[in-house]
């Protein structure tokens, strides 16, 4: 399931009119959501609460090894912000249908008023027993500019030791070039006992977005890493989809290393069949992407599509032109729905003698009456029995939803037919790695059960089974 920070950041973008999918960082987001879904590790419990319309609190505990985290968030926007999304199972599930339309028409950002209170999102969490602190701050600078700051701080093993040395209460050990090997060893042992001095990494990202392009300038304080990302849409190239192309360049002054990546994306809102000329095909969105890293020689191609209202599939191929190593991954997502209360009441009100069986409801066969005697030597069926397979007895509310399927489809590619019961995801790679994940809502909880195992005897890995339980408290 999605973590709290990701859900809040997506809700903040929707409230402020910022399109996150027009970033080069999210170029392959659709296939990554379908193929790279996380598996819970062992047993995890978490909870989220929304006491006010602009404040949120969450807690999380994990076992083997034991760890805990406490997080708080505050948001201030001009437009209404759906901060209750953190306690909504539909937003916490790792659904991929939202990312199958990355290049939909931009709905425009609200008019920026410099005199109005600044829009911002603040998020922070502290982890125990490591003492690690995470922070996120996003604020709108102007109509087309946005600033994001993320920080990760690791506390020293003994926090009072650096403070005492700074105040002069403790002496700082001096390293001598003429020290013997024994003293050097003792100094290393002393540093090992005191633990690491603590580190803080700050990443600043300045984003500029227009209706057809997005540019990002980033700087990492820890390793002096400068980065630049750019993605532009070419809507005029084809009428059957939108083609986007971009690149990423980064350089580290501390490590004296650099990297570059280029990629393109072809989003097809009407599906791949319509994009190649089949105008009679149903509207099923699809996304095809291609990325290339010239320095590492890595090529990645992916394709994600929606086959049905409840079925999404994706495939990805990785190849290295230097080592000739390759990998192929296939994944799918199946959406489960809950039977509406009206249908369950209608089924229970029907007399048990006349209620259809499961085989009759799916249209397999019709059970003969009790007074009909048949044998295998009969040459023809009794006229009382149908000569053709019966039609499934679909509930009325499901038939109405099926007839209005086209009108019920929203801009995000989902349908509002029946309540969500959960999703089932599967992934299989050519190297023999198999992963299964089930996420479902139960009362006020969201359950996530996953398993990952290796089917290959060449690279055997122990299977991993994890369960995560998220308690969703009542909103304010």
pLDDT of the residue at 262: 97
Strand 464-472 to 42-52 pairing: parallel
Q: pLDDT digit string (tens) for 198-250?
A: 678 899 999 999 988 999 999 998 888 999 999 998 876 566 788 999 999 99
Is the pLDDT confidence value at 143 over 60? yes
339 vs 400: CA distance, rounded Å: 14
pLDDT of the residue at 100: 84
Q: Across residues 160-170, what is the average pLDDT?
A: 62
Domain architecture of the chain: domains with CATH: 4-108+116-157+198-338+419-472 (2.40.160.10), 339-344+391-418 (no CATH)
Q: What does R_g of the chain's alpha carbons equal in angstroms?
A: 28
- What crossing angle do the helices spanning 396-403 and 341-349 adopt, rounded to 10°? 140
Is the pLDDT confidence value at 465 over 50? yes
Burial of 446 (0-12, 13-18, 19+ CB in 10 A): buried
Question: pLDDT exceeding 70 applies to what percent of the chain?
Answer: 67
Residues 6+ apart with CB under 8 A from 393: 356, 360, 361
More confident residue, 155 or 5: 5
Q: Are 397 and 340 in contact (CB under 8 A)?
A: yes
418 closest CA partner among 435, 438, 441? 441
Q: Are 437 and 450 in contact (CB under 8 A)?
A: yes
Q: Across residues 4-11, what is the average pLDDT?
A: 90
8 vs 120: CA distance, rounded Å: 12
Per DSSP, the residues of 135-204 read: EEEEEE-SSSEEEEEEEEEE--SSTHHHHHHHHTSSPPPPP-TT--HHHHHHHHHHHHHH----EEEEEE
């Amino acid at each position: 399931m999605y973590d709290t920070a990701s859900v809040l950041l997506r809700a903040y973008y929707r409230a402020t009119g910022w399109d996150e999918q027009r970033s080069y960082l999210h170029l392959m987001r659709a296939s990554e959501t379908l193929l790279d879904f996380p598996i819970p590790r062992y047993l995890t419990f978490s909870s989220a609460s929304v006491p006010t319309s602009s404040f949120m609190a969450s807690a999380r505990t994990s076992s083997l090894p034991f760890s805990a985290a406490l997080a708080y968030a505050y948001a201030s926007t001009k437009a209404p912000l759906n901060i209750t999304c953190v306690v909504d199972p539909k937003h916490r599930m790792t659904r991929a249908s939202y990312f199958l339309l990355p290049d939909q028409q931009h709905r425009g950002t609200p008019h920026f008023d410099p005199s109005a209170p600044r829009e911002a999102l603040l998020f922070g969490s502290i982890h125990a027993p490591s003492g690690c602190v995470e922070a996120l701050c996003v604020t709108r600078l102007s109509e087309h500019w946005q600033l994001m700051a993320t920080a990760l701080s690791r506390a020293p093993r003994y926090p009072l030791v650096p403070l005492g040395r700074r105040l002069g209460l403790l002496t700082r050990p001096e390293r001598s070039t003429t020290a013997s090997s024994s003293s050097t060893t003792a100094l290393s042992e002393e540093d090992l006992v005191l633990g690491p001095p603590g580190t803080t990494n700050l990443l600043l990202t300045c984003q500029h977005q227009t209706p057809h392009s997005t540019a990002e300038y980033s700087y990492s304080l820890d390793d002096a890493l400068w980065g630049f990302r750019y993605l532009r849409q070419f809507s005029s190239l084809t009428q059957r989809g939108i083609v986007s192309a971009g690149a990423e360049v980064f350089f580290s002054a501390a490590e004296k290393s650099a990297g570059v990546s280029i990629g393109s994306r072809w989003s097809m809102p009407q599906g791949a069949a319509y994009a190649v000329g089949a105008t009679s095909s149903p509207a099923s969105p699809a996304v095809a992407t291609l990325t290339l890293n010239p320095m590492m020689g890595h090529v990645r191609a992916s394709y994600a599509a929606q086959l049905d209202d409840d079925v999404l599939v994706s495939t990805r191929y990785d190849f290295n032109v230097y080592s000739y190593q390759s990998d192929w991954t296939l994944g799918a997502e199946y959406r489960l729905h809950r039977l509406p209360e009206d249908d369950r009441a209608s089924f229970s009100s029907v007399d048990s003698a006349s209620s259809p069986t499961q085989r009759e409801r799916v249209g397999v066969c019709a059970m003969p009456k009790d007074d009909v005697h048949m044998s295998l030597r009969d040459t023809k069926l009794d006229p009382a029995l149908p000569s053709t397979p019966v039609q499934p007895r679909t509930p009325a509310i499901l038939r109405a939803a099926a007839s209005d399927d086209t009108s019920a489809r929203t801009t995000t590619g989902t349908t509002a037919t029946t309540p969500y019961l959960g999703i089932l995801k599967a992934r299989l790679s050519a190297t023999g790695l198999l992963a299964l994940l089930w996420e479902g809502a139960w009362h006020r909880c969201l359950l996530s059960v996953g398993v990952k195992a290796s089917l290959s005897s060449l690279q055997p890995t122990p299977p991993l089974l994890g369960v995560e339980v998220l308690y969703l408290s009542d909103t304010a």
